[in-house]
Amino acid sequence: MGGRELNWDGCVNVRDLGGLGRIRPRAVVRMEAPTRLTAAGWAAAWAYGVRTVVDLRDAGEGEPDLVARPDGITTVRVPLDPVGTPFYEHWMGIDGLGSPLCYPAMLLEHPERIVSAVRAIANAAPGCVVFHCAGGKDRTGLLALVLLTLAGAAPEEIVADYLLTYPRMKQRYDELGSRDQLTLVTELLAARGTTIEASLTSTIASLPMPGFLLGNGLSGAELDALRARLTA
């Protein structure tokens, strides 16, 4: 992990993307929903430099925060799932939007959602930006894939980072009585003739950067701001 794993009390799936590709430390952090962060956990996030939290969940999704967020941390909600669309109904029936199988279709059919999340990071106030969904796996994983591809991370780095979430979130899924997620997703993709690794690698290879972002509404100035944030 090279120091990327962060210990913020109350959450188990927090890691800095710095060190992957050209991303610098303390630029962007991925995690599960920070609702279980304790006061000490939020203090650690503040001390790490976090000033913006980008929430990829739908409005009303999830539980309230355990404790109040520190003054000075701005939360920006950018729902990533296109709820109510044919895409959403189709993929909920296939994988519950819980695997990388749907990534190529999401990038093709709803790029504006992804670009909106990227824009929120590019336009955030100075400081570290945290982005998250519920478990920090797939909506978070797709946004991480886009940022890491832009920053020139190797496909194997992106795949390895995605896979880290499964063991870190296992305790949370066990608490819910859910089946082991890695086994579930592995079997789901195997039934369609692929693997997690192959699916992610194929998506990365087909994602032109920065053309994808610029072609779907990100301005040149926003791209410059994003690159400065990630790599300065």
Looking at the DSSP bridge assignments, the partners of residue 76 are 54
Residue 136 has pLDDT above 80, yes or no: yes
Asked whether residue 53 carries a pLDDT value surpassing 80, the answer given is: yes
Across the chain, what does the average pLDDT equal?
96
Per-residue confidence (pLDDT) for residue 83, from 0 to 100: 96
Of 1-15, 67-81, 113-127, give the lowest mean pLDDT range: 1-15
Q: Can you give the pLDDT at residue 1?
A: 59
**Which tens digits make up the pLDDT trace of 25-47?**
999 999 999 999 999 999 999 99
- 140-169 residue pLDDT tens: 999 999 999 999 999 999 999 999 999 999
Residue 161 structure tokens: 């980072």
* The CATH number of the domain covering residues in 15-231: 3.90.190.10
Would you kindly state where each structural domain of the chain is located, as residue ranges?
A: 15-231
**Residue percentage of the chain with pLDDT more than 90:** 92
pLDDT at 232: 75
Cα–Cα distance measured from residue 105 to residue 142, given in angstroms and rounded to the nearest whole number: 12
- The pTM for the full model equals 0.97
Q: Is 31 exposed, middle or buried (0-12, 13-18, 19+ CB in 10 A)?
A: buried
Side chain identity at residue 218, one-letter code:
L
Q: How far apart are CA 155 and CA 132, in angstroms?
A: 21
Instruction: Provide the β-strand partners of residue 75.
Output: 53
